[in-house]
């Protein structure tokens, strides 16, 4: 089982450290520690750019990693930037995690765990169960079965190379999907914003939530779908008939050459 441990270094997070160590005690769990740095508000540089506050994130993750190592548990460490609940949810979705673990700030007079804004949002929106650990009590929240889409929906533009990259990989994997063309101008993309919260393409709308940008979508596809046996033969045919063919299977290693470097990471 893949375990995503959200750690921010505060005392309430330390309750969850023991839960993670116990979950991974039998050696079957793959643990990832994630710390999310929120975007600074109202603090701009002279150039007008927003800064990212990163006072303790690396240190926090290292402390959690060291504790788990002492318990015989190896873990991967990740730092993300943005809204904590959104970044944790997106990492859980694209990584195919089986559970998210985080700490609680305390409990009320009846012994019920108090949920902060991050844990409350994850309980409601996470694609997998959420384990919230308090000082004296731990609660596992199972996700209600979602109303599943018949197939994922790709919001894309025909002229966009990043959209093409995703379409090509979905086809190569044999994944059926709905393609929706979006307006060329961002200010005209009201439907896209309502559906996904973004005005950039490509966006793949899945049961786990919206995934934005070709790199994020390809990582999600790599984690969720096995490559068909004939995929290599299809790529060979494509190279024969299209000299400029770009192989989007670089989802695990996104830099496969100058074309990949020109396309990597972006959305329009």
More confident residue, 137 or 157: 157
Q: Are residues 132 and 67 in the same domain?
A: yes
- Rounded to an integer, the average pLDDT of 16-25 is 89
- Rounded to an integer, the average pLDDT of 40-47 is 41
Q: Is the pLDDT of residue 251 over 50?
A: no
Q: Is residue 148 part of a domain?
A: no
Q: Are 77 and 33 in contact (CB under 8 A)?
A: yes
Q: Which tokens in the block code for residue 224?
A: 């969720």
Q: Which of 190, 178, 125 is nearest to 152 (CA)?
A: 178
Among 8-12, 31-35, 186-190, which stretch is predicted with the lowest mean pLDDT? 8-12
Q: Is the pLDDT of residue 262 over 60?
A: no
Question: Hey, is 81 helix, strand or coil?
Answer: strand
Q: Are residues 116 and 217 in the same domain?
A: no
Q: Are residues 204 and 254 in the same domain?
A: yes
Q: Which residues pair with 50 in a beta bridge?
A: 44
Q: Are residues 101 and 206 in the same domain?
A: no
Longest dimension (CA), the chain: 70
Which among 107, 141, 175 is the end of a domain?
Answer: 141
Q: What average pLDDT does the chain have? A: 78
What's the CATH code of the domain at 188? 3.40.30.10
pTM of the model: 0.56
The conformation of residue 143, written as its DSSP 8-state character, comes to P
Which among 120, 141, 162 is the end of a domain?
Answer: 141
* Structural domain range at position 203: 153-263
Q: Is residue 45 part of a domain?
A: yes
């Amino acid at each position: 089982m893949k375990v995503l441990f959200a750690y921010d270094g505060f005392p309430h997070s330390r309750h969850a450290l023991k839960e993670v160590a116990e979950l991974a005690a039998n050696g079957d769990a793959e643990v990832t520690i994630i710390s999310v740095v929120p975007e600074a508000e109202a603090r701009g540089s002279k150039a007008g750019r927003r800064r990212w506050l990163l006072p303790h994130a690396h240190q926090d993750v290292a402390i959690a990693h060291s504790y788990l190592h002492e318990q015989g548990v190896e873990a991967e460490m990740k730092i993300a930037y943005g809204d904590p609940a959104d970044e944790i949810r997106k990492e859980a979705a694209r990584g195919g995690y089986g559970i998210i673990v985080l700490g609680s700030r305390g409990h009320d007079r009846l012994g019920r765990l108090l949920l902060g804004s991050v844990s409350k949002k994850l309980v409601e929106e996470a694609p997998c169960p959420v384990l919230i650990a308090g000082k004296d009590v731990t609660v596992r929240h199972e996700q209600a079965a979602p109303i599943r889409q018949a197939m994922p929906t790709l919001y894309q533009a025909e002229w966009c190379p990043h959209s093409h990259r995703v379409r090509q990989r979905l086809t190569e994997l044999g994944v059926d999907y709905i393609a929706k063309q979006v307006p060329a101008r961002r200010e005209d993309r009201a439907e896209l914003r309502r559906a996904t919260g973004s005005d950039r393409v490509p966006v793949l709308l899945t049961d786990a939530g919206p995934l934005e940008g070709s790199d994020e979508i390809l990582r999600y596809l790599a984690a969720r779908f096995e490559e068909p046996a004939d995929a290599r033969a299809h790529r060979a045919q494509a190279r024969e008939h299209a000299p400029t063919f770009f192989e989007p299977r670089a989802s695990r290693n996104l830099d496969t050459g100058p074309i990949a470097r020109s396309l990597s990471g972006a959305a329009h």
